[in-house]
Amino acid sequence: MAISTKMKTFTIGLCTAALLAGCSAGQSESAKPQEPAVSAAPEPVTLSVLLRCYKVSPEEFERNFAAPVKKKYPHITLVNLECRDSKHLDELIVSKELPDIIDDGLLGLHDMLSRDIPADLQPLVRSEQFDLNRIDPKAIEFVRSIGQNGELYSMPRVRSASAVYYNRDLFDKFGAPYPKDGMTWDDYIALSRKLSVQDSNIQYQGLLIGAPRPMQTQLSLSYVDRATDKAAIQSDGWKKMFETWKAIYDIPGNRAAESKNLFNTRDRFIKDKTAAMYADINILEVLLTELENSGTKWDVASYPVFAGQGRGVMGAYGNGLIITKTSKHKEEAFRVIAHLLSDEVQLENHKNGQMTVLVNPEIQKRLWENSSIFKGKNIAAFYHNDGADPYVASRYDQIAYSQYSTALRNYVYGVKDINTVLREAEEATNKAIEAEKRK
């Protein structure tokens, strides 16, 4: 009997289905498609952190370090070693209990290297594909200049913001115009003369400066010639810096009675309220809150620049993150650092007043956004100027800094001419460096 075309097709389909079913049934278990493997949860890791040497509250450490890391990496726990004093690091070295991560000032990196503490981060930058172009290139350049072959011994984390803080009440009292962004040191000195006055037996100061280092980095001045290990103070730049300080404090009534108080000027602005202007790196929010709560009207203007030198204001003045050579968890430690430098974490810290090292302009413009005391203040002042070119640092900078600071006090308060003061500082520094080498 003839079979129809439809029946042929149906029969072939059945045979094919049966054949496929038979093949499937004959497969071994190992040949069957496997379910995707479920990766095991990472082993818990605890990383110790030393903030050298500054203290933060447990709440601040949790907010700025531990919590963001825990959110990104639930298996990583950060523990703050809570730096006690300047000797704490030495004690950790002796006891072989160095932390995994150290947050330290970039200016202290030479000291860290002299103790053989930091690991070079470049291999981790490559393996973790971290984009260094997101970070202020001058800060990276400064760190690389400290290594012998361009090593990256620290990852910049936060910049120090510089500005002129001013007491609007005193400007109103003496009828002086408020400072504006872009003013030079000469402009500020001229304005200071209008505010360094005595009134009702109270001596008011027009302009006070904090530590010398902001102006030193502003002029990109090296303390020591790294090629010779000799003092580098005999230069036009150091001469300009010394003469600028003297011009400020030669204004009648603007100088403290004793030379030991030359750099201790902040309280006269915050507590005494006798200083109209105070130029320095960022003032802690707790101190500005004290000023705000006293009813004082205050604001900020851009840090002074030198005439003819553009808008360069301050070099690599801030903190960076180091991974110690002894850490057993370098990869995890670097991932922690990378996350602390993410847009998300940097933005939140920036809004709380920790000035970002990122070059992202959308983040930069949101400085102090979470702070009620900065509402209505001239936040743009902190970003009005550009960063200065980094200076070449030396392992003997701290020795030179001590000698130069003494020389600066002697010049501002003394009778010796600038050439004599610089020559004597050079001789004293070279002797101190030689003594250090003989130890």
| pLDDT one-digit tens code per residue, 149-208 | 889 999 999 988 889 999 999 999 999 999 999 999 999 999 999 999 999 999 999 999
Equal CATH topology for 45-159+317-364 and 162-314+390-437: yes
Compute the average pLDDT of residues 91-98: 92
- Domain residue ranges of the chain, discontinuous segments joined by +: 45-159+317-364, 162-314+390-437
Q: How many residues does the chain have?
A: 439
What integer best gives the mean pLDDT of the chain? 88
CATH architecture, range 162-314+390-437: 3-Layer(aba) Sandwich (3.40)
Output the pLDDT for position 56. Answer: 84
Q: Which helix (H) or strand (E) holds 397?
A: helix 397-413
Q: Could you give the 3-state DSSP secondary structure of residue 223?
A: coil
Structure tokens at 87: 């000797």
Distance of CA 219 to the CA centre of its chain: 18
Q: What is the pTM of this model?
A: 0.85
pLDDT digits (tens, 9 = 90+) for 208-253: 998 898 899 899 999 999 999 999 999 999 999 999 999 999 999 9
Range 45-159+317-364 has CATH code 3.40.50.720: no
Compute the average pLDDT of residues 323-347: 97
Structure tokens at 284: 């802690």
Torsion of CA 56, 275, 171, 163, to 10 degrees: -40
pLDDT digits (tens, 9 = 90+) for 423-436: 999 999 999 999 99
Output the pLDDT for position 54. Answer: 79
Q: How confident is the model at residue 42 (pLDDT cuts 50, 70, 90)?
A: confident
Q: How confident is the model at residue 86 (pLDDT cuts 50, 70, 90)?
A: confident
Output the pLDDT for position 237. Answer: 96
Cα angle 148, 339, 38 (rounded to 5 degrees) comes to: 120
